[in-house]
Structure 1
Amino acid sequence: MILNDTIIALATPSGAGAIAVIRISGPDAIAVAAPFFKSAFGKDLLQKKSHTISLGHIVEDGKLLDEVLVSVFKAPHSYTGENVVELSCHGSPFIQQQIIQLFLRNGCRTAEPGEFTLRAFLNGKMDLSQAEAVADLIASDNAASHQIAIQQMRGGFSNEIKELRAELLNFASLIELELDFSEEDVEFADRRQFKELLGRIQRVLKGLIDSFAVGNVIKNGIPVAIVGEPNVGKSTLLNAFLNEERALVSDIEGTTRDTIEDEIAIGGIGFRFIDTAGIRETEDVVEGMGIKRTFEKIEQAQVVLLLVDGPKLLGNVDKLKRTTDEFDKIKAENPNKPLLLLVNKSDALSDTDKVAIDRHLGKVSYISAKTGEGIEDLKQRLLQFINTGALRNNETIVTNSRHYDSLLKALEEIEKVQLGMEEGLSSDLMAIDVREALYHLGEITGQVTNDELLGNIFANFCIGK
């Protein structure tokens, strides 16, 4: 990839719309656009100041292509740090392609996925974690993921890492200096202060690593498995959550033979609900495969909802025992996973019926998937399982698996240095571990990088960003 030429791409989604924005970036971006732009007021685009907008027409050999607004951003005060021109034209796909092809024939090439943001990173407009947050921001589909991406894009996470790295680098320099005076047996790095710094870095890294458990599910949607015997109302409950007829509902047992998934936002947090095949003994091969997938989804889910048919529990000792056994089995196999026992069809139960059920099953939650009774309370209980305190307090939350991996490696090296200090390890051996910790922290922000890493990150961006 050549990174000093002029690139062009559609910056808005492809297809018809009211307007479309075509972005051009590179040292010659303004010079490339100027000959084909005829200002409505006779102004030369090359003479326009940065951060100005001009009305005019795109013209090729006397042929009018479209009336446009042209925004000019001069280096280094632009998104990419280069000269940038953005053309706002009418949203016809034909017009978009006519304009893009015009500039491709006259000094531009098509931008690669994420190349505008890659240039922004290489030109120092943002660090690598901020660049990755751009993609997360575009992909955000609920308030929580949007808040996390905004915070990271504004540098909240990277500033925290940079500060830790700068302090560690200062001590690393002093330790390296000691190696030059090894024969004199002097210490430039205050070991007490160094020990305190390592302890603080360890606490921060552990906090960031722990936050990934929350951040990852917020970013990708929290999976909630709805399980139970056939025909207890699992599909009806899914439809009640989504407020639409997403899953097929029937009185025939075993209607759902595969998992059905859909996502909604509750309190700004994305939840991915999974309707599963009913759990029962069966000789039907297809239904059996669906039941196998049910147990796989239980393992993958963050929260499990075990649904039972309330009226069928009344006076049925065997069903009450099976319910208790199933609940205990799921809990034993997933001890750290929230598991709720939901008694469905509460609209058909009297208060006396509920007391009888509670006596056998303990305190359970009553809902009616059909009428919606208890659904809002259930949504609030689901929210309570997610630690959103960090979001409310604007604390840093890690959502990127690459960052998580680098943090784990950095923590491992920091703990090696701590152990080395306790055992009286020599400065030259400690310096090796400190360098490794600095390397892994630098990987997060892009202070340490390589072409392969950049290629993997920016290949996942959309063209035009």
Structure 2
Amino acid sequence: MIPNDTIIALATPSGVGAIAVIRLSGKNAITIASRYFKSVNGKNLAEQKTHTIHLGHIIDKKKIYDQVLVSVFKSPNSYTGENVVEISCHGSHFIQQQILQLFLKNGCRMANAGEFTLRAFLNGKLDLSQAEAVADLIASDNEASHQIAINQMRGGFSSEIKKLRDELLNFASLIELELDFSEEDVEFADRTQFKNLLKRIQNVLKNLIDSFAVGNVIKKGIPVTIIGEPNVGKSTLLNALLNEERAIVSEVAGTTRDTIEDEIAIGGIGFRFIDTAGIRKTDDVVENIGIKRTFEKVDQAQVIIYLFEADVFLHDDKKANAIQIEVENLKSRYPGKPLLVIANKVDKLSDVDNEKLTTILEGVHLLSAKSGIGIDAIKNRLLSQVNTGTLRTDATIITNSRHYDALLKALEEIQKVQLGMENEVSGDLLAIDIRQALYHFGEITGEISSDDLLGNIFTNFCIGK
């Protein structure tokens, strides 16, 4: 049901700033705003053209609230598809609340979280996946997540799904038409073309499903766990990567007893670095809890950085052997995760020692976290280790777990249809599985939705959007 009341909310962050924007949307938005807006030129706001801006004052009787700029957007050419008014006032918290209260007392109600975008969806201005991309765009904090959200908001993903759904719907109609002529034993749907379509749909769905692994970590930040023995420079490395004193650095072994996390963008990709407690045998109960958490974070990480002290490796054969065993254990235990092996404190070594180190341990990175030597090389290696090739080719990438779930279910139904085709099952049974696949496609774009689903999606938006 399309709501017909007028809603209002602050569209800019709450607090004091240079300006604030108050947004109204609804059939009577312009009419209500015109009662309290007095143009400096004496214009009637209700008579102005869409997409115009007007200078004036918000006045109630003889009380002047503020000098404002009012933007007018007339239905259907607005964000929500309704009449929309945006009032740009001065950013005083007092002024914002005074204007909001004025309109709330005179024909408006406070918008719910995400209600402007919900109305845009209900009025056909956005499909559901595009509406969800609005929230992702607001939350994006690096170039990669921003690019994915922009592509989805522009309809790249939904247009791909709609095209597949339309083709599948066309064949479904032909197969169901055959059921009406079952006694005549006619065939309207070309089975060869249908098999080719099913293969193509499966390929597209599998690619989209596979992209979720990349999209999900880009959206949330790629977790990178830094591990190693105590006092090898893990916290110093974290500070160097972040370019700030985030973790406490001390010569005392076991200083870090819990995980410390922070995030930065490297080459437009968000990386979430996790400094962990040093791994060693200890009787300290608190330190042992920290070591347990270290291994939990390694399990959750997408990339592992294993750090050791270069000088110790070269001059302590027992320790060097233990480090090599640990590296092999990590490779064996986490074969699918990129592992960066880094020798720290190389500033204490000679050039000859450094060269010797790279010969003994293949692929090792040389680093002095304290002086910053090798930091840029590590950042570049992290970028190269992350599978973002699909991002650079502008391919559609899935970041939304709801879409991922619907795609998995759609693929399952398509595979049932293909199996039915191979076993030459009757058209009525094929039609059941096709309708289920169409249902899951429709869930993504919102052609099939429920009040519970919409409520769950839009309550996660901020108020004013």
Code of the aligned partner of 1:279: I
Code of the aligned partner of 2:368: S
SS in 1 for 2:315: coil
Post-superposition offset of 1:26: 0.5
SS in 1 for 2:144: helix
Q: Aligned ranges for residues 209-228 of structure 1 at < 5 Å? A: 209-228=209-228
Alignment deviations for residues 196-222 of structure 1 (CA, whole Å, 9 cap, x no partner): 000000000001011111111111100
Post-superposition offset of 1:356: 3.7
Alignment deviations for residues 354-376 of structure 1 (CA, whole Å, 9 cap, x no partner): 34434543331111101111110
Say whether 1:447 aligns with 2:435: no
Counterparts of 1:326 and 1:93 in 2: how far apart (Å)? Answer: 58
SS in 2 for 1:235: helix
Code of the aligned partner of 1:263: E
Say whether 1:130 aligns with 2:130: yes
Alignment deviations for residues 326-379 of structure 1 (CA, whole Å, 9 cap, x no partner): 112222221101011100011112233234434543331111101111110111
Say whether 1:417 aligns with 2:417: yes
Which residue of 1 is the match for residue 206 of structure 2? 206
Say whether 1:373 aligns with 2:378: no
Which residue of 2 is the match for residue 398 of structure 1? 398
SS in 2 for 1:69: strand
Which moves more between the two structures, 28-37 or 328-337? 328-337
Post-superposition offset of 1:179: 1.1
Counterparts of 1:363 and 1:410 in 2: how far apart (Å)? Answer: 43
SS in 1 for 2:272: strand
Task: Note the residue ranges of structure 2 that are not aligned, 5 or more in a row.
Answer: none
Q: Is the 8 A contact 1:342 1:364 kept in 2?
A: yes
Which residue of 1 is the match for residue 326 of structure 2? 326
Which residue of 1 is the match for residue 111 of structure 2? 111
SS in 2 for 1:239: helix
Post-superposition offset of 1:182: 1.6
Post-superposition offset of 1:391: 2.1
Counterparts of 1:155 and 1:40 in 2: how far apart (Å)? Answer: 41
**What's the TM-score, normalizing by structure 2?**
0.98
Q: Is the 8 A contact 2:2 2:123 kept in 1?
A: no
Alignment deviations for residues 174-206 of structure 1 (CA, whole Å, 9 cap, x no partner): 011111112222211000000000000000000
Q: Is the 8 A contact 2:2 2:122 kept in 1?
A: no
Which residue of 1 is the match for residue 254 of structure 2? 254
Counterparts of 1:239 and 1:290 in 2: how far apart (Å)? Answer: 19
SS in 1 for 2:274: strand
Counterparts of 1:79 and 1:377 in 2: how far apart (Å)? Answer: 45
Counterparts of 2:11 and 2:263 in 1: how far apart (Å)? Answer: 27
Alignment deviations for residues 286-310 of structure 1 (CA, whole Å, 9 cap, x no partner): 1111000000000101000000011
Post-superposition offset of 1:438: 0.5
Which residue of 2 is the match for residue 351 of structure 1? 351
Task: Work out the number of aligned pairs and report it.
Answer: 465
Task: Note the residue ranges of structure 1 that are not aligned, 5 or more in a row.
Answer: none
Counterparts of 1:381 and 1:238 in 2: how far apart (Å)? Answer: 16
Which moves more between the two structures, 352-361 or 24-33? 352-361
Between the aligned residues of both structures, percent identity stands at 71
Counterparts of 2:313 and 2:251 in 1: how far apart (Å)? Answer: 18
Counterparts of 1:340 and 1:396 in 2: how far apart (Å)? Answer: 29
Which residue of 1 is the match for residue 463 of structure 2? 463
Q: Is the 8 A contact 1:30 1:45 kept in 2?
A: yes
Which residue of 1 is the match for residue 363 of structure 2? 363
Q: Aligned ranges for residues 218-367 of structure 1 at < 5 Å? A: 218-367=218-367
Code of the aligned partner of 1:16: V
Post-superposition offset of 1:436: 0.7
Alignment deviations for residues 94-125 of structure 1 (CA, whole Å, 9 cap, x no partner): 00000000000000000000000000000000
Code of the aligned partner of 1:300: Q
SS in 2 for 1:274: strand
